[in-house]
């Protein structure tokens, strides 16, 4: 019961965060969602039996199910890899980790900037549609 | 005999590219000789009816490479190999000098695919061979040049669409009849007892065959494909591609002849195509296009005849297939000769070439006359048989349908006459681009042979009785003995034929007026336009559908699975019932951990500061780790704990590049995300409560607990699952981890990491005595010098004991990585370590794979090996764990290094703003490694 509430809390927090704009928040949201799923997996083995599956203490009546634990151990490490990758994504933006959509207004704002990186980026993404963007400033 | 035959054709196909490369165009001779020898073998000593041969392919679903010989297969085999030989011999003089590996490879490959198609007795193999012919024709057309790409793609789209229909039919038949053996499936009683099944399969097979045999409305690809060189066209039209469709119809006729859908589709579409194609052919001026529409028309005639379905009709269709192969291959090759000699195929330019090209004229006249159905040629015999089978068909409309056939034949007669009369008689036209001259025997003989064969067969029609009888018997599924002859007496068919000659002759006589009348669009759109419009429409629809998800904003994509989860829960709410009693129980620490998690989640959701959010997420992570520990998962808890530490270290490296606070989310976003979050959270909690903790331990878990020591010699069950029982999962996971490191390196190499923010370091540090990062880090550095080596040693201890106590490769690696992280944070400058990191990853995965390969010694990849040396139990699983250890350390070190270093200076930008004023570092700082080290 308590474990179910914990899963719910973690899921709710994770969902809220991944729907935000900043990549860092999205990455943290994914971390919370991974926690939720991992706890759920361990719970699937049952929370009534809590003895460590170690040292030959093999009373199936009291020992925790080792199979979900092995799954979760793998899942934690993979989730770590995903988190690190998303964190790397958060520091390759233009100025910060905002992930807003390039709506027309935002695009014209970016094009108007004198940041050559922005201009190059927009030119790559919208090459044919926006010819004036091709005028890259020469150093 | 069958496997030898197929093997030899495949062998030729494999040798063809080599011959084409070495011998150039002359490779046509040996290949033609090979195919001709095989054709003669099959024709003179046909394999006994019902010979079978089989090797299993996918035994699990009863798919085997089954071959079976019967009359129908033999007839088509002779066509495929014989016409193939003629066309290849012709190519040896038609092609330009120089290497032609692709052409010869694909042409003989085409022959091999057709051989497999007509010999196979397995539904799945039939489909595979069918698709192989599609691909061969696509490549043969598309390799002609840039102008051929669009027609080739259209051809592919139409024929692959038909292929999907055939796949549907094949699967339906295999499932319904329970066998993939073709002739057994066709004799199943379901065809009679289950009209819905029979009707559906009839429609699917018919559509598949229509696309291949260029029947209305799929006819457009065939004239479109005329961009291919003439030998390709000759083969496609006479024996290979389009005849595959005819073969399929004849093959399935045994089961489907009595199905109404089949009869209506085949007779209706076939006759429509027959008349339409003939009219279009009469309209064309390009001889090759004319022949293409002629093929469309003739195939329509054959399709309609198969639709009649009587044994006589099937015999007539078989014979007309043979006759068509002869006159159409001759006609195409002779048009190629005209083109070669005069430089044009346009009947308006050609004229009076007969005198200069006597042999060419003979071939053209013979093939056109056979096509027009004039005695004493093969085309007359087969057309008479077709007309007779229509007249004698067991339907009241038989004679009326025969009249429609005759209408098509009138136009056929007219275009055949036009082909001959506009090109041969009279004095040479002045419009011909090049002076006509007779070509050498290398081109003439391959074209002359099928034309002469038409004469021989016409005069000695009885000689085909046996071939037609076995083919029709195989197709009809009952014995039949057709009698072919030039003279059957005064029959309705003969009367119709004579009417055709009279009317056709009239059209030929009034050719100029007919030409004027037809010199216009008969339909508002052409078939090619229709296919192109369909193609464009499909792409436009795809774009429209894609637009729904074409957004850079992650929230739009990420919300979808959560909404889906809620929907699934809503559905489950109504259907899940009868939950067992809950076996969970609550301990006091659970409440404490719930409080920790709740506080952490509440704080991180509301946090405006990036640092605050990171710290609270770390707290939640520790709470979850403790929860794992109390639930009896010590290894998981340890892993979680260490991962939290390392995650925080990585985030700290990034935080100085990002603004301090988050932007305030808009009210709409906060509300939408909040509602979805609350609902998803409720669903997740309810799902966890309802679906877990209601059963005893899983049988798998029980097995692991009870047998772990006997199986692996270890007692840490979770670790043995990772490295002994389910090591393949772990290997896959390692690879994912290694890729993450690589992807980050590539990502940072392709884009640019954000520079450190100027305001990231507090003013105090920038101006005060602690500004110098060298002395500033003294304390940490001193600590790390002491602890980092200890941590690495501890990690080795964790690694080695992992099989029996909490520890193992993952945990040990995370401990060691924490040591590295400590050393990294303490270091004053960046050193070039990335390469070391990737070597660690590579050697880790390498060790894991090699250990797995060693397991092959015991019969299976990744099976651990055990040995007792001096009383100590050793297992290769520990070596595997060393691989895990190295790879994980490597990834963490790579991440630290890549994300921690400063970006290289921009090349296109003005001089970068200094990241932070750093007065004289204590140690000489290496130039920012960034790109060079990545």
- Residues B859-903: pLDDT tens digits? 777 777 777 766 666 778 888 888 888 888 888 888 888 887 766
Instruction: State the residue for tokens 């100027």.
Output: B758
Exposure letters B645-662 (e unless 16+ CB within 10 A, then b) = bbbbbbbebbbbbbbeeb
Chain A residues closer than 8 Å to B606 by CB: none
Query: Looking at the structure, do residues B429 and B386 belong to the same domain, yes or no?
Result: yes
CA–CA separation, B813 vs B860, rounded Å? 27
Residue B768: the pLDDT is 58
Pick the closest to residue A57 from B712, B632, B584, B808 (CA basis).
Answer: B632
- pLDDT band at B832; cut points 50, 70, 90: low
Q: Is the predicted pLDDT of residue B925 greater than 50, yes or no?
A: no
In a domain, B348, yes or no: yes
Q: Is the predicted pLDDT of residue B909 greater than 50, yes or no?
A: no
- pLDDT band at B934; cut points 50, 70, 90: very low
- Indicate the residue among B501, B523, B545 that finishes a domain: B523
Q: Which of B587, B589, B643, B692 is best to mutate for the A interface (most A CBs within 10 A)? A: B692
Contact yes or no for B116/B53 (Cβ under 8 A): no
Query: Looking at the structure, do residues B355 and B429 belong to the same domain, yes or no?
Result: yes
Hey, how many other C-beta atoms are within 10 angstroms of the C-beta on B489?
A: 6
A residues 82-121 near B, CB within 8 Å? 82-85, 87-93, 95-102, 116-117, 120
Give domain A2-97's CATH architecture: Orthogonal Bundle (1.10)
Strand, coil or helix: B249: helix
Q: Do B733 and A77 touch (CB under 8 A)?
A: yes
Strands B866-869 and B872-875: antiparallel
Domain ranges of chain A: 2-97, 99-131
Query: Nearest 10 degrees: CA dihedral of B638, B639, B645, B649?
Result: 160
Q: Does A36 touch chain B (CB under 8 A)?
A: yes
Average pLDDT over residues B773-800: 81
Pick the closest to residue B787 from B829, B837, B826 (CA basis).
Answer: B826
Q: Is the predicted pLDDT of residue B916 greater than 70, yes or no?
A: no
CA dist list (Å): B466 to B43, B462, B793: 12, 8, 88
Q: Is the predicted pLDDT of residue B274 greater than 90, yes or no?
A: yes
Q: Is the predicted pLDDT of residue B906 greater than 80, yes or no?
A: no
Query: Nearest 10 degrees: CA dihedral of B432, B435, B437, B442?
Result: -80
Contact yes or no for B325/B79 (Cβ under 8 A): yes
Angle at alpha carbon of residue B808, lines to B802 and B813, rounded to 5°: 145
Chain B residues closer than 8 Å to A32 by CB: 601, 604, 617, 620
Residue B871: the pLDDT is 66
Determine the structural domain holding residue B714 and report its residue range.
698-757+772-901
Q: Do A73 and B636 touch (CB under 8 A)?
A: yes
Q: Does A135 touch chain B (CB under 8 A)?
A: no
CA–CA separation, B327 vs B379, rounded Å? 8
Q: Mean pLDDT in chain B?
A: 84
Q: Does A33 touch chain B (CB under 8 A)?
A: no
Residue B919: the pLDDT is 45
pTM score: 0.65
Q: Where are the alpha helices (DSSP H) in B358-397?
A: 358-372, 378-391
CA–CA separation, B214 vs B907, rounded Å? 59
Contact yes or no for B264/B139 (Cβ under 8 A): no
Q: Do A35 and B657 touch (CB under 8 A)?
A: no
Query: Looking at the structure, do residues B780 and B838 belong to the same domain, yes or no?
Result: yes
CA–CA separation, B553 vs B18, rounded Å? 54
DSSP letter string over B701-740? Answer: HHHHHHHHHHHHS---HHHHIIIIITHHHHHHHHHHHHHH
In a domain, B146, yes or no: no
Query: Looking at the structure, do residues B419 and B294 belong to the same domain, yes or no?
Result: yes
Query: Looking at the structure, do residues B394 and B350 belong to the same domain, yes or no?
Result: yes
Cβ–Cβ pairs < 8 A, chains A and B: 341
Greater model confidence, A76 or B343: A76
Residue B762: the pLDDT is 57
- ipTM of the complex in this document: 0.80
CA–CA separation, B285 vs B422, rounded Å? 10
Query: Looking at the structure, do residues B639 and B780 belong to the same domain, yes or no?
Result: no
- For B162-176, what is each residue's pLDDT tens digit? 999 999 999 999 999
Residue B582: the pLDDT is 82
- pLDDT band at B828; cut points 50, 70, 90: low
Residue A132: the pLDDT is 41
Q: Which of A37, A40, A47 is best to mutate for the B interface (most B CBs within 10 A)? A: A47
Residue A104: the pLDDT is 45
Query: Looking at the structure, do residues B816 and B858 belong to the same domain, yes or no?
Result: yes
User: At a CB cut-off of 8 Å and minimum separation 6, what does B208 contact?
Assistant: B130, B162, B163, B165, B166, B169, B245, B248
Pick the closest to residue B922 from B824, B768, B775 (CA basis).
Answer: B775
Residues of chain B with pLDDT > 90, as a percent, come to 26
Query: Looking at the structure, do residues B776 and B854 belong to the same domain, yes or no?
Result: yes
Which of B610, B677, B721 lies at the smallest CB-CB distance from A67?
B721
Query: Looking at the structure, do residues B646 and B702 belong to the same domain, yes or no?
Result: no
Q: What are residue B196's phi and psi, to 5 degrees? A: -65, -45
CA–CA separation, A32 vs A39, rounded Å? 11
Query: Looking at the structure, do residues B498 and B384 belong to the same domain, yes or no?
Result: yes
Residue B769: the pLDDT is 57
Q: Do B624 and A38 touch (CB under 8 A)?
A: yes
Contact yes or no for B228/B141 (Cβ under 8 A): yes
Query: Looking at the structure, do residues B732 and B875 belong to the same domain, yes or no?
Result: yes
DSSP letter string over B9-49? Answer: HHHHHHHHHHHHHHHGGGGHHHHHHHHHHHHHHHHHSPPPT
Q: Is the predicted pLDDT of residue A57 greater than 70, yes or no?
A: no
CA–CA separation, B411 vs B517, rounded Å? 14
User: At a CB cut-off of 8 Å and minimum separation 6, what does B196 contact?
Assistant: none
CA–CA separation, B815 vs B791, rounded Å? 6
- Of the ranges B56-60, B441-445, B522-526, which one carries the lowest mean pLDDT score? B522-526
- pLDDT band at B89; cut points 50, 70, 90: very high
- Based on the number of CB atoms within 10 Å of its own CB, is B857 exposed (0-12), middle (13-18) or buried (19 or more)? exposed
Token pair, residue B358, equals 């006597």
Pick the closest to residue B781 from B829, B832, B814, B816 (CA basis).
Answer: B829
- For B44-72, what is each residue's pLDDT tens digit? 888 888 788 889 888 888 888 999 988 88
Strand, coil or helix: B436: coil
Instruction: State the residue for tokens 């070597």.
Output: B839
Residue B829: the pLDDT is 56
Average pLDDT over residues B625-653: 90
CA–CA separation, B90 vs B79, rounded Å? 16
Question: What is the 3-state secondary structure of B825-863?
Answer: HHCCCCCCCHHHHHHHHHHHHHHHHHHHHHHHHHCCCCC
CA–CA separation, B157 vs B151, rounded Å? 10
- Indicate the residue among B503, B523, B543 that finishes a domain: B523
- pLDDT band at B831; cut points 50, 70, 90: low
In a domain, B250, yes or no: no
Q: Is the predicted pLDDT of residue B499 greater than 50, yes or no?
A: yes
Strand, coil or helix: B699: helix
The distance of Cα A101 from the centroid of its chain, to the nearest Å, equals: 18
Contact yes or no for B460/B357 (Cβ under 8 A): no
Average pLDDT over residues B274-284: 90
Pick the closest to residue B354 from B427, B416, B459 (CA basis).
Answer: B427
Chain B residues closer than 8 Å to A97 by CB: 658
In a domain, B594, yes or no: yes
Pick the closest to residue B208 from B153, B260, B169, B150 (CA basis).
Answer: B169
Q: What are residue B915's phi and psi, to 5 degrees? A: -65, -45
- Indicate the residue among B499, B523, B547 that finishes a domain: B523
- pLDDT band at B245; cut points 50, 70, 90: very high
Query: Looking at the structure, do residues B747 and B815 belong to the same domain, yes or no?
Result: yes
Average pLDDT over residues B471-486: 79
Question: What is the 3-state secondary structure of B146-206?
Answer: HHHHHHHHHHHHHHHHHHHHHHHHHHHHHHHHCCCEHHHHHCCCHHHHCHHHHHHHHHHHH
CA dist list (Å): B569 to B145, B563, B573, B680, B682: 56, 10, 6, 9, 10
If you ran DSSP here, which 8-state letter would residue B347 be given?
Answer: T
Average pLDDT over residues B714-734: 87
Q: What share of chain B is helix, strand, coil (3-state, %, to 5)?
A: 70, 5, 25
C-alpha distance from A78 to closest chain B C-alpha (Å): 7
**How many domains does the structure of chain B reveal?**
3
Token pair, residue B48, equals 């006994």
Q: Note the residue count of chain A.
A: 139
Q: Do A19 and B677 touch (CB under 8 A)?
A: yes
Token pair, residue B417, equals 């006459």
Pick the closest to residue B663 from A20, A113, A36 (CA basis).
Answer: A20
Q: Is the predicted pLDDT of residue A119 greater than 70, yes or no?
A: no
Chain B residues closer than 8 Å to A11 by CB: 677, 680-681, 683-685
Strand, coil or helix: B65: strand
Strand, coil or helix: B390: helix
Question: What is the 3-state secondary structure of B452-490?
Answer: HHHHHHHHCHHHHHHHHHHHHHHHHCCCCCCCCCCCCCC
CA–CA separation, B713 vs B891, rounded Å? 30
């Amino acid at each position: 019961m308590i474990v179910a509430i914990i899963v719910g809390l973690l899921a709710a927090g994770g969902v809220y965060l991944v729907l935000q704009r900043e990549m860092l928040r999205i990455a943290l949201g994914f971390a919370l969602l991974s926690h939720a799923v991992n706890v759920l997996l361990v719970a699937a083995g049952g929370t009534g039996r809590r003895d460590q599956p170690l040292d030959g203490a093999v009373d199936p009546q009291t020992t925790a199910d080792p199979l979900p634990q092995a799954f979760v151990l793998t899942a934690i490490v993979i989730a770590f890899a995903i988190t690190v990758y998303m964190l790397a994504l958060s520091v390759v933006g233009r100025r910060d980790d905002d992930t807003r959509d390039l709506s027309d207004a935002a695009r014209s704002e970016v094009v108007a900037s004198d940041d050559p990186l922005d201009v190059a980026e927009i030119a790559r993404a919208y090459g044919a549609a926006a010819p004036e963007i091709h005028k890259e400033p020469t150093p | 005999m069958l496997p030898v035959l197929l093997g030899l054709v495949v062998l030729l196909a494999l040798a063809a590219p080599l011959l084409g490369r070495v011998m150039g165009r002359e490779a046509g001779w040996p290949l033609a000789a090979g195919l001709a020898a095989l054709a003669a073998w099959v024709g003179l000593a046909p394999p006994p009816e019902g010979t079978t041969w089989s090797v299993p392919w996918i035994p699990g679903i009863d798919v085997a490479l089954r071959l079976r010989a019967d009359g129908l297969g033999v007839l088509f085999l002779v066509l495929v190999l014989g016409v193939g030989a003629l066309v290849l011999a012709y190519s040896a003089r038609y092609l330009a000098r120089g290497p032609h590996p692709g052409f010869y490879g694909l042409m003989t490959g085409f022959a091999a695919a057709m051989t497999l198609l007509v010999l196979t007795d397995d539904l799945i193999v039939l489909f595979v061979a069918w698709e192989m012919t599609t691909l061969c024709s696509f490549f043969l057309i598309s390799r002609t040049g840039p102008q051929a790409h669009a027609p080739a793609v259209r051809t592919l789209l139409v024929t692959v669409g038909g292929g999907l229909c055939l796949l549907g039919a094949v699967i339906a038949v295999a499932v319904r009849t329970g066998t993939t053996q073709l002739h057994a499936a066709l004799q199943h009683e379901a065809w009679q007892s289950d009209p819905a099944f029979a009707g559906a399969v009839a429609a699917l097979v018919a559509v598949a065959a229509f696309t291949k045999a260029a029947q209305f409305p799929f006819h457009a690809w065939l004239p479109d494909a005329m961009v291919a060189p003439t030998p390709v066209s000759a083969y496609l039209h006479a024996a290979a591609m389009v005849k595959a469709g005819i073969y399929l119809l004849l093959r399935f006729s045994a089961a489907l002849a009595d199905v109404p859908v089949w009869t209506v589709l085949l007779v209706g579409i076939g006759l429509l195509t027959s008349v339409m194609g003939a009219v279009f052919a009469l309209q064309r001026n390009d001889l090759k296009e004319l022949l293409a529409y002629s093929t469309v028309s003739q195939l329509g005639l054959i399709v309609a005849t198969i639709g009649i379905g009587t044994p006589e009709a099937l015999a007539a269709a078989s014979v007309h297939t043979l006759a068509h192969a002869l006159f159409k291959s001759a006609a195409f090759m002779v048009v190629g000769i005209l083109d070669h000699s005069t430089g044009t195929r346009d009947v308006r330019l050609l004229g009076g070439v007969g005198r200069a090209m006597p042999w060419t004229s003979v071939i053209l006249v013979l093939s056109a006359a056979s096509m027009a159905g004039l005695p004493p040629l093969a085309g007359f015999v087969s057309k008479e048989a077709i007309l007779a089978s229509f007249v004698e068909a067991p339907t009241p409309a038989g004679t009326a349908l025969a009249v429609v056939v005759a209408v098509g034949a009138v136009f056929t007669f007219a275009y055949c006459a036009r082909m001959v009369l506009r090109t041969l008689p009279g004095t040479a036209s002045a419009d011909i681009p090049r002076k006509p001259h007779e070509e050498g025997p290398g081109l003439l003989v391959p074209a002359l042979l099928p034309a002469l064969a038409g004469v021989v067969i016409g005069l000695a029609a009885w000689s085909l009785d046996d071939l037609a009888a076995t083919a029709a018997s195989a197709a009809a599924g009952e014995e039949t003995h057709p009698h072919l002859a030039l003279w059957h007496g005064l029959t309705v068919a003969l009367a119709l034929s004579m009417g055709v000659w009279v009317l056709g002759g009239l059209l030929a006589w009034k050719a100029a007026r007919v030409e004027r009348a037809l010199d216009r669009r008969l339909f508002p759109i052409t078939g090619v336009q229709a296919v192109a419009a369909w193609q464009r429409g499909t792409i436009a629809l795809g774009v429209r559908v894609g637009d729904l998800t074409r957004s850079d904003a992650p929230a739009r994509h990420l919300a979808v699975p959560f909404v889906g989860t809620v929907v699934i829960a809503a559905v489950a709410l109504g259907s899940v019932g009868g939950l067992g009693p809950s076996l969970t129980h609550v301990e006091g620490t659970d409440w404490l951990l719930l409080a920790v998690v709740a506080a952490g989640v509440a704080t991180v959701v509301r946090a405006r500061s990036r640092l605050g959010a990171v710290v609270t997420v770390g707290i939640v992570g520790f709470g979850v780790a403790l929860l794992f520990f109390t639930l009896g998962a010590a290894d998981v808890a340890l892993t979680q704990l260490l991962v939290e530490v390392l995650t925080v270290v990585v985030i700290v490296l990034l935080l100085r590049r990002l603004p301090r606070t988050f932007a305030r989310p808009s009210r709409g976003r906060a509300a939408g995300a909040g509602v979805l979050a609350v609902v998803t959270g409720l669903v997740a909690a309810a799902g966890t409560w309802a679906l877990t903790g209601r059963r005893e331990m899983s049988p798998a878990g029980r097995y692991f607990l009870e047998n772990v020591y006997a199986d692996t010699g270890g007692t840490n069950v979770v670790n043995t699952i990772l490295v002994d029982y389910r090591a393949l999962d772990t290997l896959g996971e390692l690879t994912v981890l290694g890729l993450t490191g690589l992807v980050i390196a590539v990502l940072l190499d392709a884009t640019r990491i954000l520079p450190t923010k100027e305001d990231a370091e507090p003013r105090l540090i920038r101006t005060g005595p602690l500004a110098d990062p060298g002395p500033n880090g003294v304390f940490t550095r001193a600590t790390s010098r002491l602890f980092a080596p200890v941590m690495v040693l501890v990690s080795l201890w964790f690694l080695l004991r992992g099989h029996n106590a909490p520890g193992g490769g993952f945990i040990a690696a995370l401990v060691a990585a924490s040591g590295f992280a400590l050393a990294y944070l303490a270091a004053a400058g960046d050193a070039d370590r990335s390469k070391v990191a990737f070597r660690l990853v590579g050697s880790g995965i390498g060790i894991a794979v090699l250990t797995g390969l060693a397991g092959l010694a015991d019969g299976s990849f990744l099976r651990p090996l055990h040995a007792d040396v001096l009383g100590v139990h050793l297992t290769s699983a520990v070596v595997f764990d060393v691989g895990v250890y190295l790879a994980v350390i490597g990834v963490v070190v790579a991440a630290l290094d890549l994300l921690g270093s400063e970006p290289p200076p921009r090349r296109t930008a003005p001089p970068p703003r200094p990241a932070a004023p750093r007065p004289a570092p204590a140690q000489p700082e290496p130039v920012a490694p960034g790109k060079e080290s990545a």
